[in-house]
């Protein structure tokens, strides 16, 4: 892909910038606008109402109108806030959220950076979000913001442990930290996906299937907590903390927190798709290969990858309007008493199976 862009622009640095901008402006930002509208519509239909209907056909332009409104708002900052940290926090959260997409393979033809430590990079870069949230909550000089930030940090750090253990389990099975390599190991058809034991055969495959199902459930629950989604949305609990860590933010700074949340939802969904559901591979083979049109295959791969990721995002929205919010003690109990011991047990069992 880089060679193709270098041939067009004639400059390697320009080609890198264009490659970085393509997923951001052509997919991730339009997705964020769509996801905000989808959440409103999903919640509305679950509650037997219409949702936004006035701007555009059935309200499809409502999110665009909201963004235009936020862009025009005055940049307000309270007198007693820490000016530097207060202004820096939303940018740090935004960068941490969108930089995670650099290592994600969208198709065999398009991947930002096929680095050998892609999984490690994903975990490391996403920690910027934690630092940004804590920075914004503390710098706001608001008790609600500080409480929300402290809740978020304790929650994310706790739930990163089972997430990391499950990722370590998948590294043990695949033998790689490269997300594209992990994807390519699940090629051909859906029975080669890691959720169904991967490309292994014999008794090992049948022993791995229940463990993989358990690992998938653990990482999906943990990522819900890491992106502050219900039932783990206590950092933003409106009934308790007004709006949590971004109470004092308005205008585009608030929009950056908002867009970063939806980008995080998609990023963790893509990670789950790569680890368990074949990444960009089709479950049934490619039409392009069947009819001899090879250039169609990368387009099909992008379609399948995006479809799988958006499906898990919609499930996150569905859960938001289905489950009640957990108390702080319940949230920590779920992590430390259940998810971590179960994830360690799965790690040990997978290690034993892979030695057989």
> For all residues of the chain together, what is the average pLDDT?
84
> Can you tell me the distance from the alpha carbon of 193 to that of 283, in angstroms, rounded to the nearest whole number?
9
3-state SS, residue 257: helix
- Exposed, middle or buried, 117 (CB in 10 Å: 0-12/13-18/19+)? middle
Give the pLDDT band of residue 222 (cuts 50, 70, 90).
very high
Question: Angle between the 296-320 and 203-226 helix axes, to the nearest 10 degrees?
Answer: 60
Q: Tens digit of pLDDT for each residue in 146-192?
A: 888 888 888 888 999 999 999 999 998 888 889 988 998 888 778 88
φ, ψ for residue 193, nearest 5 deg: -70, 150
pLDDT value at position 109? Answer: 80
Instruction: Calculate mean pLDDT across residues 311-327.
Output: 87
Q: What percent of the chain lies above the pLDDT cut of 70?
A: 90
Classified as helix, coil or strand, 153 is helix
The CA distance from 209 to 238, in Å, is 40
Query: In angstroms, how far is CA 124 from the centroid of its own chain?
Result: 14
Cα–Cα nearest to 131, from 161, 94, 165: 94
Question: What value does the mean pLDDT take over residues 41-53?
Answer: 85
Distance CA 125, CA 227 (A): 14
Query: Phi then psi for 111, rounded to 5 degrees?
Result: -145, 135
Joined tokens for residue 321: 């309007």
Q: Which residues pair with 40 in a beta bridge?
A: none
For the chain, give percent helix, strand, coil, nearest 5: 75, 0, 25
pLDDT of residue 11: 63
Calculated CA dihedral for residues 247, 250, 253, 257, nearest 10 degrees: 40
20 contacts 12 by C-beta, under 8 angstroms: no
Q: Which residue reads 């970085």 in tokens?
A: 20
Alpha-carbon span 292 to 294, nearest angstrom: 6
Note the pLDDT of residue 253: 84
User: How far apart are the two ends of the chain, measured CA to CA in Å?
Assistant: 40
């Amino acid at each position: 892909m880089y060679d193709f862009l270098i041939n067009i622009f004639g400059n390697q640095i320009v080609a890198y910038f264009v490659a970085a901008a393509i997923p951001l402006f052509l997919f991730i930002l339009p997705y964020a606008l769509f996801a905000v509208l989808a959440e409103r519509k999903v919640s509305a239909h679950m509650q037997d109402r219409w949702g936004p209907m006035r701007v555009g056909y059935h309200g499809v332009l409502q999110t665009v109108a909201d963004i235009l409104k936020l862009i025009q708002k005055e940049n307000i900052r309270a007198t007693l806030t820490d000016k530097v940290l207060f202004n820096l926090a939303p940018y740090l959260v935004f960068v941490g959220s969108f930089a995670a997409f650099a290592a994600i393979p969208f198709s065999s033809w398009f991947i930002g950076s096929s680095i050998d430590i892609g999984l490690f990079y994903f975990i490391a870069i996403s920690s910027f979000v934690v630092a940004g949230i804590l920075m914004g909550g503390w710098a706001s000089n608001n008790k609600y913001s500080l409480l929300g930030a402290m809740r978020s940090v304790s929650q994310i750090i706790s739930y990163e442990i089972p997430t990391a253990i499950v990722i370590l389990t998948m590294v043990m099975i695949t033998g790689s930290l490269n997300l594209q390599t992990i994807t390519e190991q699940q090629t051909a058809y859906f029975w080669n996906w890691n959720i169904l034991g991967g490309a292994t055969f014999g008794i090992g495959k049948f022993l791995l299937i229940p463990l993989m199902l358990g690992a998938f459930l653990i990482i999906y629950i943990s990522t819900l907590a890491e992106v502050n989604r219900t039932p783990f949305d206590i950092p933003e609990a409106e009934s308790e903390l007004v709006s949590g860590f971004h109470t004092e933010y308005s205008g585009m700074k608030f929009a950056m927190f908002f867009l970063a949340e939806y980008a995080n939802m998609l990023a963790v969904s893509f990670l789950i798709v790569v680890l368990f559901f074949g990444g960009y591979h089709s479950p049934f083979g490619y039409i392009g290969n069947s009819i001899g049109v090879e250039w169609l295959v990368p387009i099909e791969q992008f379609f399948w990858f995006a479809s799988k990721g958006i499906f898990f995002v919609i499930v996150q929205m569905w859960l938001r309007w289905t489950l009640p919010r957990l108390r702080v003690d319940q949230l920590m109990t779920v992590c430390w008493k259940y998810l971590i011991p179960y994830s360690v047990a799965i790690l040990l069992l997978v290690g034993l199976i892979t030695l057989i």
